[in-house]
């Protein structure tokens, strides 16, 4: 690598590469303060640096410029980056021009190391800013009629329990809430309103605390509403019940509060945009051809692998139980609350 002491020199041109020393920085700053930076090749010469002009420019613009703001990104900056990236894509310099004191390189790094992962964990494809369809969750959801899926999620929210010690069941609950959020997103987003992101997961820190607290579960298992889901029904702990109901209201209320996206509207009109494949730029355009009443979501065969011959709850059951999805759901429960 160029950074090591032995490889910091371009053997063919005698040009130094790699990390800058404080002395080099000082030379460059002094030179630019004195002469400005019209021609970077000249700057390098005048400063007495054995660096190419390009390297000098990079060092100045990304590190030495006096107006550079360093440190962690604020919430506002983060939001701006998300919004601009949804609109512009990887136009880092353009995004940087909207964030005073931030460089394109800094924003790019921040995106690649933090924001991309953050969106990914929220079930959003970082490239398209649309719900991800590259996983089992979305593939399975695509084959479930929206009204049945909505009913299923609502029913699960009402009928399921929140055991406090069993992490497996905690994951089960996370699945339900996650599905709810996906549905919520699908019903409130559209291709032109790029600022819209999924509402923060219902699985907030307060709920998480309850899920993982050491209190004894109120218990106990009875028949699940959904045979294939294997979700045990237990009696609510009063505190948990309150939160669960609140969570459920958060989900359903937002739908019913807005007549345009009301439950009836959802069920009758299927105002759910067609799912899009992950990471394909052309998928920015949301297909607005919706389903006919009671019909399955029709997805191109090359997009979704699951057959639609199974029942709603078979598919949902598979989704909930499939071993392959364990890692995904573990991530949801482990990391979503840190968003």
Partner DNA sequence: AAGCGCGGCAACCGCAACTAC
Partner DNA sequence: TGTAGTTGCGGTTGCCGCGCT
Q: Which residues bind DNA (CB under 7 A)?
A: 1-4, 10, 17-20, 38-41, 51, 53-55, 57-59, 62-63, 90-94, 104-106, 108-110, 112-114, 117
Q: Please calculate the CA angle 147-152-158 and round it to the nearest 5 degrees.
A: 130
Tokens 């109901």 label which residue? Answer: 245
Comparison of 93 and 190: residue with beta carbon closer to DNA: 93
Minimal distance, residue 102 CB to DNA, in Å: 11
Comparison of 53 and 262: residue with beta carbon closer to DNA: 53
Structure token digits, residue 218: 């109120």
Minimal distance, residue 122 CB to DNA, in Å: 16
Query: How far, in Å, are 22, 92, 105 from residue 53 at the CA level?
Result: 18, 22, 18
Tell me which DSSP letter residue 5 carries: S
Comparison of 91 and 249: residue with beta carbon closer to DNA: 91
CA 15 to chain centre: 42
How many Cβ atoms sit within 10 Å of the Cβ of residue 166?
Answer: 12
Comparison of 25 and 314: residue with beta carbon closer to DNA: 25
Minimal distance, residue 334 CB to DNA, in Å: 12
3-class secondary-structure state, position 266: helix
Comparison of 127 and 139: residue with beta carbon closer to DNA: 127
Minimal distance, residue 34 CB to DNA, in Å: 16
Give a three-class secondary structure readout of 7-25.
Answer: CCEECCCCEECCCCCHHHH
Minimal distance, residue 171 CB to DNA, in Å: 20
The Cα 250–Cα 268 span in angstroms is 21
Comparison of 43 and 243: residue with beta carbon closer to DNA: 43
Contact 193, 244 (CB under 8 A): no
Minimal distance, residue 105 CB to DNA, in Å: 5
Structure token digits, residue 93: 């310099």
Contact 196, 286 (CB under 8 A): no
Minimal distance, residue 47 CB to DNA, in Å: 13
Comparison of 110 and 197: residue with beta carbon closer to DNA: 110
Give a three-class secondary structure readout of 192-222.
Answer: CCCCCCCCCCCCCHHHHHHHCCCCCCCCCCC
């Amino acid at each position: 690598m160029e950074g090591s002491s032995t490889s910091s020199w371009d053997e063919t041109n005698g040009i130094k590469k790699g990390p800058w020393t404080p002395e080099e920085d000082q030379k460059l700053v002094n030179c630019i303060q004195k002469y400005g930076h019209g021609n970077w090749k000249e700057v390098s010469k005048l400063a007495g640096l054995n660096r190419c002009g390009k390297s000098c420019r990079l060092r100045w613009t990304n590190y030495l410029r006096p107006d550079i703001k360093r440190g962690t990104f604020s919430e506002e900056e983060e939001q701006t980056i998300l919004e601009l990236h949804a609109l512009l894509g990887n136009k880092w310099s353009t995004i940087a021009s909207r964030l005073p004191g931030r460089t394109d390189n800094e924003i790019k790094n921040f995106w690649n190391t933090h924001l991309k992962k953050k969106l990914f964990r929220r079930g959003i494809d970082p490239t398209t800013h649309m719900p991800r369809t590259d996983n089992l969750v979305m593939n399975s959801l695509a084959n479930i009629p929206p009204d049945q899926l909505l009913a299923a999620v609502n029913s699960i929210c009402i009928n399921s329990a929140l055991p406090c010690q069993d992490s497996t069941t905690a994951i089960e609950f996370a699945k339900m809430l996650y599905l709810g959020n996906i549905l919520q997103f699908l019903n409130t987003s559209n291709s032109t309103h790029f600022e819209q992101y999924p509402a923060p997961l219902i699985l907030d820190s307060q709920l998480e605390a309850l899920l993982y607290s050491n209190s004894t579960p109120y218990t106990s298992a009875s028949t699940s509403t959904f045979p294939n889901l294997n979700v045990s029904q237990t009696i609510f702990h009063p505190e948990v019940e309150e939160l669960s109901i609140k969570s459920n209201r958060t989900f359903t209320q937002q739908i019913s509060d807005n007549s345009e996206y009301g439950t009836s509207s959802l069920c009758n009109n299927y105002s759910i945009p067609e799912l899009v494949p992950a990471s394909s730029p052309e998928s920015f355009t949301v297909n607005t051809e919706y389903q006919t009443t009671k019909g399955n979501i029709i997805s191109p065969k090359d997009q979704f692998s699951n057959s639609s011959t199974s029942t709603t709850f078979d598919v949902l059951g598979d989704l909930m139980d499939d071993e392959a999805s364990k890692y995904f759901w573990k991530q949801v429960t482990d990391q979503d609350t840190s968003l």
